[in-house]
Structure 1
């Protein structure tokens, strides 16, 4: 299953990371241009990381028989729905509002922003598969426990893809966007 998705493995090209040298990650908090909006945006990214991990760990707990199927189905509905809905909303806002603002501020980063927008399209495909699988588990939880557990194995695999994808994508997105924000004093 992991090989059915296109997940970018390479880092952003160095020429798109030169502001990161001037504004390293460990200095962001102390920068006078690091404002509450940027803090909230990074907080949303941390939430995505935590929720994607939670979804994977819950699937592992079910597969290891450390969690009851009914409990798992409820948690999958809550956390999975939260993850998918919020990621779609977050990425839609970025693609239509946030990224154009960054591009207008510093057109040198258009190629990096294009990479991130392609990531969003690739992630949408994974999220669609995850949603179908999760909905199937939730329905089967009341109909056929064996089939529900088999489908939960697929949810586990896809959730691991999401988690891996987010690790690469969110880190690159942050290291591309935050230096632009700091350099141009955006998002005040």
Structure 2
């Protein structure tokens, strides 16, 4: 289960973040190279953060009896499917299209991109565990309500791990990629 997964906790090494000093996060919006494609990409990251948080908050609500089991199962199916499906698609696009473009523009960042690609592989394991656990919980809502609540504790643990993982990974990904984009005027 989740305890066997290794989720990176450390920030990217400073040598992989040197362009961040030249292009700090609070200056991105004003930069002439900060265009719609990059804003859209960052918007997708914000959506992932919000949906992961929503799943955790809803699961806490279920366990606190603030949300009924049927309503929770519908919300979990909707938000969980949205999160998992969109993350897989987004990361596949990054790994096969976006990251190679960034690497071609600035090969000094290949080591950082390798870290991000490993994060994607590690997150896939957590998402698979979440999917199995969430699907089991949804099935149990009609079969055994007591077991559904027990499974909800596992969903909470996994969803909290996803949320924490995304916080670390997406921030690092943004702070590695956006300075490259701005420096080389990519994604126009």
TM (normalized to structure 1)? 0.99
Runs of 5+ in structure 1 lacking a partner?
none
Please state if 1:90 is matched with 2:85: no
**1:147 positional shift:** 0.5
SS in structure 2 of the partner of residue 6 of structure 1: coil
**Counterpart-to-counterpart distance in 2, 1:34 and 1:64:** 43
**1:3 positional shift:** 3.2
Equivalent residue, structure 1, for 2:53: 53
CA RMSD of aligned residues (A): 0.7
Equivalent residue, structure 2, for 1:33: 33
**Counterpart-to-counterpart distance in 2, 1:27 and 1:119:** 26
**Counterpart-to-counterpart distance in 2, 1:167 and 1:180:** 20
**Counterpart-to-counterpart distance in 1, 2:144 and 2:18:** 54
**Counterpart-to-counterpart distance in 1, 2:149 and 2:75:** 14
**Counterpart-to-counterpart distance in 2, 1:42 and 1:114:** 20
**1:139 positional shift:** 0.5
Please state if 1:9 is matched with 2:43: no
**1:2 positional shift:** 5.3
**Counterpart-to-counterpart distance in 2, 1:12 and 1:146:** 43
**1:47 positional shift:** 0.2
**Counterpart-to-counterpart distance in 2, 1:3 and 1:81:** 23
Equivalent residue, structure 2, for 1:178: 178
Equivalent residue, structure 1, for 2:120: 120
**1:60 positional shift:** 0.2
Matches within 5 A, 1:15-164: 15-164=15-164
Runs of 5+ in structure 2 lacking a partner?
none
**Counterpart-to-counterpart distance in 2, 1:156 and 1:4:** 16
Tell me how many residue pairs correspond in the alignment. Answer: 188
Kindly indicate whether the alpha-carbon contact (under 8 Å) linking 2:2 and 2:126 is maintained by their aligned counterparts in 1. Answer: no
Runs of 4+ with >6 A deviation: none
Residues 79-137 of structure 1, C-alpha deviations (whole Å, 9 max, x = no match): 00000000000000000000000000000000000000000000000000000000001
Residues 112-167 of structure 1, C-alpha deviations (whole Å, 9 max, x = no match): 00000000000000000000000001111011100011001100000000000000
SS in structure 2 of the partner of residue 67 of structure 1: coil
